[in-house]
Copies of this chain bind each other. A is one copy, B any other.
C-alpha cells in the first residue's frame, strides 16, 4: 500500500480516450466514489442524480459527460459515456499496481512430464498439472488448482486459486476464472433399469471461448457426448450452474445463482438476471433478456424481455393473494 504507484491526470485521460481540462500534471493514485474520493483520487459522475455529491467532492478530477461538466469543482475527464470511461480507468489503475508476484518459484508443484507449460506462464504452489495439458503464454494460475489430462489453457488466461479443471476442457485466451470454479464435472444423467439408476458416463468436453469470465464457485458440466460450449465474451457470475451439452452464445451474461439445464441453447447477447432457471432441451434466440428469478420453461423464439413470478408484497397481503391464486383454477373454465 505504501508504495502505490501514481499516474498523471493528463496521461490517464489520454489513455482512456477522454478530453481533459485542468491540472494535467497532478498525480493520482486511484479511483473512488464522489463522496469517498480523496485529493489523490479521481471520481466519476454517471448519473445526474449524483450532482449534489459532485459539488462537494474532494477528488482531483472527475469523469463526466459534456452536459454536466460545468458543475465540476475540479479537473475534468470528459466523454459521452462516463460509465465506459470509468471502466477503462479501473483498468489503468489495476495495471498500475498489479502485483508481479512470481509464483513460479514454488517447490510444491506436481506437473506431469508430458504437460507443455509455456515458460512465461505463472503457476502457484500446490497445483497439479496432468498429462498432456497445454498451458500457453502468459497464463497465470493461482494456488491449489488441478488441471487434468489433455486440457488446454489459452494465452493470458487467469485462473484463481482452488479451481478444478477436469480432463479435456479447453479454455480460450484472456479468460478469467475465479476461485472455486469447477469446469468439466459430469452432468446429472441417468437411465433407469428396474428402478435402479444407471449412470450415463460423460465422455464429452467443455469448450470455452476467448475473454470469458466465470464467477467464483460456478460449475460447468462436460458434455455427455459432444461438448458444452461457452461462446466468446460470455460473462458468468458466481454460483451459476451450466449443465451438460448447454451452448451459450457469444456476449451473453448470466447473473448469480442461475442454472441452465441440460442441452439447452442460449443465443448471443442475452442477459439472464440472477436466480433464474432455464429448463433442459430448449432454445432461446439472440438478444433475449430474462428478469430475475424467472423460470424459463419453453423455447423463446422472439427477442425481448421475459418474466415470471409475482411482485413483492407485505406477507399479510401476500397471503390473501396467494390463497386467491389457488382458487384461480376454478375460474379457468369460465365462458369467454
Q: Does A225 contact B (CB under 8 A)?
A: yes
- Closest B-chain residue to A315, C-beta based? B305
Copies in the complex: 3
B182 and A178 within 8 A (CB): yes
- Closest B-chain residue to A94, C-beta based? B201
Query: How many A residues have CB within 8 A of the partner chain?
Result: 135
Stretch at the interface among A6-14, A25-33, A50-58, A64-72: A25-33
Q: Which residues of B contact A190 (CB under 8 A)?
A: 87, 235, 253
Q: Does A219 contact B (CB under 8 A)?
A: yes
Main secondary structure of the interface of A (DSSP, over half): loop
> Which A residues are within 8 Å of any B CB, using their own CB?
1, 30-33, 36, 81, 83-84, 86-88, 90-91, 93-94, 99, 101, 106, 108, 110, 124-126, 128, 130-132, 142-144, 146, 148-150, 160-164, 166-167, 176, 178-180, 182, 185-186, 188-193, 195-203, 211, 213, 215-219, 221, 224-226, 233, 235, 237-239, 241, 243, 251, 253, 255-259, 261, 269, 273-275, 277, 279, 289, 291-298, 300, 304-332
Instruction: Write 30 A-B pairs (CB below 8 A) sorted by A numbering.
Output: A30-B203, A36-B225, A87-B189, A87-B190, A90-B201, A90-B202, A90-B203, A90-B224, A108-B108, A124-B146, A126-B144, A143-B146, A146-B162, A178-B186, A180-B182, A180-B217, A188-B237, A217-B239, A257-B257, A274-B277, A293-B293, A293-B295, A295-B312, A300-B312, A305-B315, A307-B313, A307-B315, A307-B318, A307-B319, A320-B330
